[in-house]
């Protein structure tokens, strides 16, 4: 994340905080906050989530390992990077490697952090950590959760570029790392 810059606004003071809903996939908190101006916001809602990870995985042959799955919020099947929620106590890199293996059967290669993003910093408290894994290979079969229905697609990089630029990868937290990858490659 970016560092502090002179003349940045100050953090708000939390006067009260109460959980309205606590479930594994939806935790909502209501805060009463005081701004540095002294103004008070009585009902400021924050959604709490664990850290997320996703992986732009490139095979030894130079294809991207993409997935497609149905997303009920939009009612559509879309292109995505392998991704998921970080397990409690798990390192970011270990979580990313686990998600790639579970969702696609691919592993190995050389890994490095690609970027950190927030889906909505005004309302959500978590960060999505993106990794680049180059030189991955098929190591086994998918190990999907009972509620996951995912297909794996080896995709040439030029086709990946088309998917993102044509709006086929609607998930912003997945499109941004792909775009960064292409910008860095020139």
Q: What is the rounded CA–CA span in Å between residue 80 and residue 64?
A: 11
Q: What is the rounded CA–CA span in Å between residue 1 and residue 93?
A: 18
Instruction: Encode the chain (186 residues) as per-residue pLDDT tens digits.
Output: 567 888 888 999 999 999 999 998 899 999 999 999 999 999 999 999 999 999 999 999 999 999 999 999 999 999 999 999 999 899 999 999 999 999 999 999 999 999 999 999 999 999 999 999 999 999 999 999 898 999 999 999 999 999 999 999 999 999 999 999 999 998
Q: What is the rounded CA–CA span in Å between residue 170 and residue 119?
A: 13
CATH code of the domain occupying 52-185: 3.90.79.10
Domain ranges of the chain: 13-48, 52-185
Q: SS3 of 27, please?
A: strand
User: What is the DSSP code (8-state) at residue 8?
Assistant: P
User: What is the DSSP code (8-state) at residue 114?
Assistant: E
Q: Which residues, other chains included, contact 175 with Cβ-Cβ below 8 Å and sequence gap of 6+?
A: 164, 169
pTM: 0.91
Strand-pair partners of 129: 53, 116
Q: What is the rounded CA–CA span in Å between residue 178 and residue 77?
A: 19
Q: What is the rounded CA–CA span in Å between residue 29 and residue 26?
A: 10
Q: How far is CA 133 from CA 54, 56, 128, 157, in A?
A: 10, 6, 16, 14
* Residue 141: Cβ within 10 Å count: 10
Cβ atoms of 28 and 46 closer than 8 Å: yes
The burial class, CB within 10 Å (0-12 / 13-18 / 19+), for 85 is middle
């Amino acid at each position: 994340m970016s560092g502090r810059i002179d003349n940045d606004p100050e953090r708000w003071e939390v006067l009260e905080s109460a959980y309205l809903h606590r479930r594994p996939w939806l935790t909502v908190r209501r805060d009463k906050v005081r701004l540095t101006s002294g103004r008070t916001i009585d009902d400021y809602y924050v959604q709490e989530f664990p850290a997320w990870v996703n992986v732009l995985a490139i095979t030894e042959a130079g294809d991207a390992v993409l997935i497609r799955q149905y997303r009920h919020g939009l009612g559509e099947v879309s292109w995505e990077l392998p991704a998921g929620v970080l397990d409690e106590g798990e390192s970011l890199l270990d979580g990313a490697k686990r998600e790639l293996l579970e969702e696609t059967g691919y592993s190995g290669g050389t890994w490095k952090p690609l970027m950190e993003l927030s889906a909505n910093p005004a309302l959500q408290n978590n960060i999505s950590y993106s990794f680049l894994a180059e030189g991955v290979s098929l190591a086994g079969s998918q190990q999907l959760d009972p509620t996951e229905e995912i297909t794996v697609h080896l995709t040439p990089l030029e086709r990946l570029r088309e998917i993102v630029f044509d709006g086929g990868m609607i998930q912003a937290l997945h499109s941004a790392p792909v775009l960064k990858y292409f910008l860095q490659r020139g």
